[in-house]
Amino acid sequence: MPRPQRHFLPDVPSHIVQRGNNRQLCFFTKRDYKVYLDKLREYSVKFEVEIHSFVLMSNHVHLLATPATSTGISQLMQSLGRYYVRYVNGRYNRTGTLWEGRFHASLVDSQEYLLAVCRYIELNPVRAGMVVHPAQYPWSSFRCNALGKRIRLVTKHSVYLALGSAPSARQQVYCEYFRSKIPESMLKKIRESSNKTWVLGNMLFKKRVERQLGFSLPPFPRGGDRRSKGNNKSPY
């Protein structure tokens, strides 16, 4: 079965997920988390990718990132993945792969879903039962986005900046998003789009993405044969 194809566009955010092979641990000590974040920042600068939100769990990683080019995210993740595998193998005297194949990524409609994905990412440790509140978890962007802690890796997206005219106002509004649980319907939508590399957005956003890419994207309408529409070209 062919692997879902990932697509990236300049200035369009992507939700990125990379998991440990067979759900094995990827981070073992505080030093490992710090090394990963340091290299993530280095490569994000090198390949012109802005990181808006992140969480490093023990066996997987979530990022919300916006590239300046269509190749930036792939270059970032490939370089970071190779470096970190070499680091882990050398430090712990191990061999073989660390990651579960390719990373997953889905394009995100920033106007409708960017803050929802940030919330989803930063609440991962809470859903996993590791902490009661996201501020208690040190390896995420929550303290930066919600509490104003300086994290050089994080670049604030324009949607976040529009939450208020001052940092304190933005942080207050951002914190309000975390006072209630994410609806199950939203959790399902975010997870499904990530796992299947679908676009996370409304139909207008999906059509705009298809116009930029030059072809149609799944999920396709049910009941018809999409292959009969002339080389699978988008009609929009």
Q: From CA 61, how far away is CA 120, in angstroms rounded?
A: 12
Predicted model pTM: 0.91
What tens digit of pLDDT does each residue of 22-65 get?
889 999 999 999 999 999 999 999 999 999 999 999 999 999 99
For residue 44, the model assigns a pLDDT of 98
Which residue do the tokens 């369009």 mark? 12
**Residue 188 is which amino acid?**
K
| Percentage of residues of the chain with pLDDT beyond 70 | 92
Which tens digit of pLDDT belongs to each residue from 184-219? 999 999 999 999 999 999 999 999 999 999 988 888
Residue 76 — very low, low, confident or very high, per pLDDT cuts 50/70/90?
Answer: very high
* pLDDT band, very low/low/confident/very high, at 110 (cuts 50, 70, 90): very high
Cα–Cα distances in angstroms (integers) from residue 2 to residues 5, 29, 135, 147, in the given order? 9, 36, 40, 43
Domains of the chain: 14-201 (3.30.70.1290)
Pick the closest to residue 18 from 126, 99, 120 (CA basis): 99
Whether the predicted pLDDT of 79 surpasses 70: yes
Residues 220-236 have a mean pLDDT of 46
State residue 222's pLDDT score: 65
Q: How confident is the model at residue 3 (pLDDT cuts 50, 70, 90)?
A: low
- In tens, the pLDDT along 123-175 reads 999 999 999 999 999 999 999 999 999 999 999 999 999 999 999 999 999 99
- 3-state SS of 142-202 is HHHHHHCCCCCCECCCHHHHCCCCCHHHHHHHHHHCCCCCCCHHHHHHHHHHHHHCCCECC
